[in-house]
Structure 1
Amino acid sequence: MQGDSWIGRLVIGGILLFLSFLIVPVFIFYGYLVRVLESTIEGDSEPPEWDDWGGLVVDGLKATVVGLVYGLIPTVVIVGIGAGLIGIGSAAGNDGGGLLAGFGLATILLLIPVLFLVYYLVPAALSNMAVEGRLGAAFDVGMLKRVVLTSDYFVAVLMPIVVGVVINVVAQVLILTIVGGLLVPFVMFYGQVAVFRMFGLAFAKHAPTDGGQATDVATTA
């Protein structure tokens, strides 16, 4: 809500989420969140403006690719292995088969911690991509380790969970009325910008600048 044009930013963001069923607005929205990361890491205290719409779409597509690579690949591998073990065990039909099926189920249950790990890593990956301007930067293991193993980043990842709960409660209350329901996309946009601001601040504190030192960004959202 900082800056003179915050109402306009909020209105545009809410409208994009309201039109998310058209798909393209989703990519624009994701691109804006990447831009929030970039501006935060660069030290800006005011959210970015809505401009360079083509660039927003491109950044949104990149963010989608990053999320798919981090989330879809391990999911497919784990579910594939688990389903295979369950199928073999069921076909065997004896004690050994039951044991295999049990291992298969346990393998699929590994998705829970794996997906949490994905949720933990993706914000840092997107932050590095936003700073470097390259899709490959999202997979820079050395940089990610430098950031994600810090307590600041750990807290920054946990806080959005709290924000998400609060936003969802507000949304559930608003949706009880027609007028309130129309406000939900705007509330969701506000919450997402706040969350990505937190991610950017945590990343900026430990990511090196061109000079090799961590950036010094104010810690107030």
Structure 2
Amino acid sequence: MLEDGLSYPIRGDWVGRIVIGGVLGFLSVLVVPAFIIVGYLVRVLEKTIGGDEVPPEFTDWGDLLMKGLVGTIITIAYTVIPVVVYAVVVGVVSGAGGAIGGDTGALVGVVGLLLTLAFIPVLFLVYYAVPAALSAYAARGELGAAFDADLLKPALFSTEYLVAVLMPIVVAVVVWIATAVLAVTVVGLLLVPFVQFYGQVAVFRMFGSAFATVNDRIESGPAGGAASAVGDDVGTAR
């Protein structure tokens, strides 16, 4: 999976794609280019799930922008809402501990501290769920698919998807090291967005491949050949 992901961004006529992606990265402070990049990454998921072995081109920019907007909405829904709920719970528990006082208040305060320390696992759960949600959206082309538990569960509870989530951490570390090295010089700093775009495409390739593998297995069904409803839905989307 790692080898496939790393080789994927430079398949076909890759120079033009990397250049466009890097330039969009430079311009991402203007917001719209950032949405286009997200849309392109969603298209990478879409093409990967559909069985394409070569990255998509930067075509139909309006569609890329729309996919980027929807992808951003999905990411925000999975990221901001859980974090806000978590922060409210921690705040209420910590406040209650201070208001109660005494031994009971101290105990409640300890619970609040433990909840605070649980923030890292919460972030990991968010990181774990977002790619699956985006892949489901890419597979069906519908916003609701990103929140369809029946479509998401097979991927979220599969070994393939777990590996696909852990492998990008390796890519992220490599990209971070490359970025740190390049940032030493002005010329190198100019190359950073291109390296980051390459890493993003590689990572989303891994996510899409894992999602496709799991759902292809479901679609093939048991030995009798009957496919599940989830597999049928994904197959239809393709």
- For normalisation by structure 2, the TM-score amounts to 0.85
State how far apart, in whole Å, the 1-side matches of 2:227 and 2:47 are: 19
Instruction: Pick the aligned partner of 1:47 from 45, 55, 68.
Output: 55
2:90 matched residue in structure 1: 82
Deviation at 1:110, TM superposition (A): 2.3
Deviation at 1:105, TM superposition (A): 2.1
State how far apart, in whole Å, the 2-side matches of 1:180 and 1:39 are: 31
Backbone CA RMSD of aligned residues: 1.8
State how far apart, in whole Å, the 1-side matches of 2:214 and 2:135 are: 12
2:130 matched residue in structure 1: 122
Deviation at 1:165, TM superposition (A): 0.1
What amino acid does structure 1 have at the position aligned with 2:102?
Answer: N
Q: Deviations along 1:87-137, whole A, 9 cap, x unmatched?
A: 222233322222222212222322221221111111111111011000100
Instruction: Pick the aligned partner of 1:21 from 3, 23, 29.
Output: 29
Which runs of no fewer than 5 residues in structure 1 stay unpaired?
216-221
State how far apart, in whole Å, the 2-side matches of 1:140 and 1:85 are: 32
Secondary structure at the counterpart of residue 43 of structure 1: coil
What amino acid does structure 2 have at the position aligned with 1:143?
Answer: L
Residue range with higher mean Cα deviation, 171-180 or 87-96: 87-96
Residue range with higher mean Cα deviation, 142-151 or 38-47: 142-151
Are residue 205 (structure 1) and residue 229 (structure 2) matched?
no
What amino acid does structure 2 have at the position aligned with 1:25?
Answer: P
Identity of aligned residues (%): 55
What amino acid does structure 2 have at the position aligned with 1:3?
Answer: G
State how far apart, in whole Å, the 2-side matches of 1:97 and 1:85 are: 10
1:219 matched residue in structure 2: none
Secondary structure at the counterpart of residue 51 of structure 2: coil
Q: Which is richer in helix?
A: 2
1:93 matched residue in structure 2: 101
Secondary structure at the counterpart of residue 119 of structure 1: helix
Instruction: Pick the aligned partner of 2:38 from 30, 33, 43.
Output: 30
Q: Deviations along 1:173-203, whole A, 9 cap, x unmatched?
A: 0000000000000000001000000111111
State how far apart, in whole Å, the 1-side matches of 2:95 and 2:115 are: 13
State how far apart, in whole Å, the 1-side matches of 2:168 and 2:84 are: 27
State the structure with bigger RCO (CA 8 A, min sep 6), 1 or 2.
2
Instruction: Pick the aligned partner of 1:144 from 142, 145, 152.
Output: 152
Which runs of no fewer than 5 residues in structure 2 stay unpaired?
1-9, 221-225, 233-238
Paired residues for 1:3-14 under 5 Å: 3-4=12-13, 6-14=14-22
Paired residues in the alignment total: 214
State how far apart, in whole Å, the 2-side matches of 1:109 and 1:59 are: 35
State how far apart, in whole Å, the 2-side matches of 1:55 and 1:212 are: 31
Residue range with higher mean Cα deviation, 160-169 or 93-102: 93-102
Q: Which runs of 4+ in 1 moved over 6 A?
A: none
State how far apart, in whole Å, the 1-side matches of 2:227 and 2:20 are: 37
State how far apart, in whole Å, the 2-side matches of 1:110 and 1:73 are: 16
What amino acid does structure 2 have at the position aligned with 1:158?
Answer: L
